[in-house]
Structure 1
Amino acid sequence: MFRKAKQNRIFQDVVDQIQEAIVEGRLKEGDQLPAERKLQEEFNVSRGTLREALRVLEQKGLIEIRTGVAGGSVIRGVTTEQVSESLALLIRYQKVPLSKLAEFREGVEGIVAALAAERATDEDLARLQGLLERAGDCLARGESFWDSFLRTDEEFHLALAEMTANPLFITVLETVYHNIHTYYERYLPMEEAVLRQNHRDLEDLVAAIAGRDSRRAEELAKEHVRRFNARMEERGIA
């Protein structure tokens, strides 16, 4: 299955060859790699080089190294999990500037809102209406429920992503909204006027999606991100 590793980049070549075999489907989830001695012969590498390459593949989530009598390297396959873990760390620990995160969200969420307007089912629309009502109830119950309001807002945006039926949009926005709370805590002014504006934006989005107006839904989503990022930027500067 494998050729001898290129000697000028021996370690990386072993990683690349096994990774390519997994991506192309020559190695499938649940398959077990040959024994270490066999791999050493195929790649023409030392035991140390091979083990280093296998550790990198394990860190990438592509294989699982099992110990014991029935041990070995088992293929885990390619999933969206590998992408989301790295993105989650960047957002959770605020390694992306607020302005860059907003720029990214504006583009992605605009597209997602437009697709939701085109693809939403009656069940989807009922779900959005239910989330909108829950968000309004949180506002009506006062300051102690403002955090619940933000969590409902996050759930609303994830619902839009799910309506696209596109696993990339779903994975990316799940990762963003499961980790973005640290930005809210640091930058978002927790004021009733701000949250009520947020709720009005959600109302407008639901109306556009229900009306199958993809262009308006896209612009509303972009404007929503722009407006609230401006509020957070102001607080960050202050």
Structure 2
Amino acid sequence: MVLHRIEQGLTTGRIRVGDRLPAERALAEELGVSRSSVREAVRVLEAMGVVRTAVGSGPDSGATVIADPATSIGSALRLHMATQFLPIPDVVQTRVLLESWAASAAADTRPDVTHLHAQLDAMDAPNLSPEAFHMLDERFHLTLSSMAGNVLVEAMMASLGDSIRGYILDAVPRLDDWAAVTVGLRSEHRAIVQAIGSGRGTRAARLVREHIEGFHALARTNR
């Protein structure tokens, strides 16, 4: 009942991002439920990235409505990945679909890609550990996806990145020559950025697909 009441409020616009939810006691009395039920509903909403809670009695206390879809999507994907129910090839294919579209859409606007080059320069630093390299790689791919201007795609890409991080790092020790692999990945990254910056959307999408599928095939071969 509490979740339905808040969902209705968001849908009708009576509750908006930045608003504070009614006090726990007020919601409980309005809906005829216990305060513990209200408290549990707020915990669920916080886990879903819909509210942020703060204790105390000041202006920032209580539950405030936020919009953080990546939190809930990422948590759900990580848990389902942990069950090993979602096949890695399906996750990779979903990433290819989203990111190749994002690269093509970004290229249509012929954006300034200076910030992408800066990120790639950071990945050229010598003696990067696999963990550090992958964190930079993940940030690069998320930045690229955000350039399409689709907030849902961006949230889903952030969640997919969280979900496959372990899979990628597990594959590194099995690769014959990690240093050589990073050389190839860096070269592919720069080709993708060049295609986006020059407005070649079809080429950018193809390069992204080949980049992601290529590493997945390499990791699978070295299992």
Return the TM-score normalized by structure 2. 0.76
1:34 Cα deviation from its structure 2 partner: 5.0
Q: Check conservation: 2:92, 2:213, Cα contact below 8 A.
A: yes
Tell me if 1:43 matches 2:43.
no
Q: Check conservation: 1:120, 1:163, Cα contact below 8 A.
A: no
1:25 to 8, 13, 16: 13
Tell me if 1:116 matches 2:106.
yes
1:153 to 137, 145, 151: 137
List alignment gaps of at least 5 residues for structure 1. Answer: 1-12
Tell me if 1:201 matches 2:188.
yes
1:6-41 deviations in whole A, cap 9, x for unaligned?
Answer: xxxxxxx332122221343212333341562x5445
Tell me if 1:174 matches 2:158.
yes
2:201 to 214, 219, 228: 214
Distance 1:67 1:112, change over 3 A: closer
1:230 to 208, 217, 222: 217
Q: Check conservation: 1:27, 1:75, Cα contact below 8 A.
A: no
Distance in structure 1 (CA, Å) of the matches to 2:116 and 2:122: 10
Tell me if 1:89 matches 2:78.
yes
AA aligned to 1:89 is R
Return the TM-score normalized by structure 1. 0.72
Tell me if 1:183 matches 2:167.
yes
> Whose radius of gyration is greater, 1 or 2?
1
Note the aligned Cα RMSD (angstroms). Answer: 3.3
Distance 1:119 1:14, change over 3 A: same
Distance in structure 2 (CA, Å) of the matches to 1:177 and 1:120: 25
Distance in structure 2 (CA, Å) of the matches to 1:186 and 1:23: 42
**Alignment: residue pair count:** 216
2:116 to 128, 134, 139: 128
Give the equivalent residue in structure 2 for 1:10: none
Distance 1:32 1:226, change over 3 A: closer
List alignment gaps of at least 5 residues for structure 2. Answer: none
Moved more, 206-215 or 64-73: 64-73
Q: Check conservation: 1:91, 1:176, Cα contact below 8 A.
A: no
Give the equivalent residue in structure 1 for 2:3: 15
Distance in structure 2 (CA, Å) of the matches to 1:99 and 1:47: 45
Q: Check conservation: 1:92, 1:182, Cα contact below 8 A.
A: no
Distance in structure 2 (CA, Å) of the matches to 1:40 and 1:231: 56
